[in-house]
């Protein structure tokens, strides 16, 4: 852990951090000295992630949370601040996907994707922002996707959530920049996490050519490392070779 890092002592709240991209982000920020608050819906996976981070020497607080719940996101923000103090970084990473033609999708499919990928960011950010405004500092990073830029067959629900997330991110940035709060989006292409793929199994793509969770964590680090007088509004992250 680099105690001389600019992140030393900063409190980073990462949603969807029990595995994959979220866990990689937590590990990287922990290595840079941040104190970590992590959440996920699955309490068993979350406890495993907490143990992994703690065994690496990181200061970590873990709490189950469904980001689509206003009550749970408010409680997470409150208990994180009570445990560590004010939240400096919010990484909205929690996400889900349902793929298939729009006309074959159900209302439940729509709600599952939009409630997590878009409403969840709204609720979690709303729970954290007032304290950031009072301190006139903070940085929010929303993990979007290149699916927020590109359409593809079977991606209607997922693309809608990620296009909406980019719009929300840009508006949040304008709302908050006057308070010294920065808001950024990181948009990766396909990441080797087993998250799923519109054509079916992730094995249909060459995992060796995909982005890795650590690549997204590096982009988040870069974004958070910008000088206080500037911010990176968007990062588009692609693999060198198409998987």
Q: Which residues are catalytic?
A: 158
7 SS3 class = coil
Rounded CA-CA distance 112/110 in Å is 6
> Which helix (H) or strand (E) element contains residue 173?
helix 156-176
Contact 185, 142 (CB under 8 A): yes
Q: How far, in Å, are 70, 143, 164, 185 from residue 161 at the CA level? A: 18, 12, 5, 14
Query: At a CB cut-off of 8 Å and minimum separation 6, what does 188 contact?
Result: 21, 143, 145, 146, 211, 215, 216, 219, 237, 238
Q: What is the C-alpha to C-alpha distance for residues 36 and 174, in angstroms, rounded to an integer?
A: 27
Q: Structure tokens of 170?
A: 């840009």
């Amino acid at each position: 852990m680099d105690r001389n890092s600019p992140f030393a002592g900063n409190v980073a709240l990462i949603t969807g951090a029990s595995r994959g991209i979220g866990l990689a982000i937590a590990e990287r920020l922990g290595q840079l000295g941040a104190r970590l608050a992590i959440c996920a819906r699955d309490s068993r996976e979350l406890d495993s992630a907490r143990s992994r981070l703690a065994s690496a020497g990181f200061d970590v607080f873990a709490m189950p949370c469904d980001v689509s719940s206003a009550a749970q996101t408010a409680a997470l923000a409150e208990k994180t601040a009570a445990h560590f103090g004010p939240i400096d970084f919010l990484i909205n990473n929690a996400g889900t996907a349902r793929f298939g033609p729009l006309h074959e999708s159900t209302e439940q499919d729509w709600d599952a994707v939009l409630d997590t990928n878009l409403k969840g960011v709204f609720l979690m950010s709303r729970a954290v922002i007032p304290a950031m405004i009072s301190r006139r500092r903070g940085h929010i990073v929303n993990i979007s996707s290149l699916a927020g830029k590109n359409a593809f067959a079977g991606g209607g629900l997922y693309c809608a959530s990620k296009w909406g997330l980019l719009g929300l991110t840009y508006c949040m940035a304008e709302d908050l920049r006057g308070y010294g709060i920065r808001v950024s989006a990181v948009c990766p292409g396909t990441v080797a996490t087993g998250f799923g793929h519109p054509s079916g199994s992730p094995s249909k793509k060459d995992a060796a050519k995909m982005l890795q969770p650590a690549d997204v964590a590096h982009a988040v680090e870069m974004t958070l490392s910008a000088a206080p007088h500037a911010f990176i509004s968007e990062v588009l992250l692609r693999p060198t070779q198409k998987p």
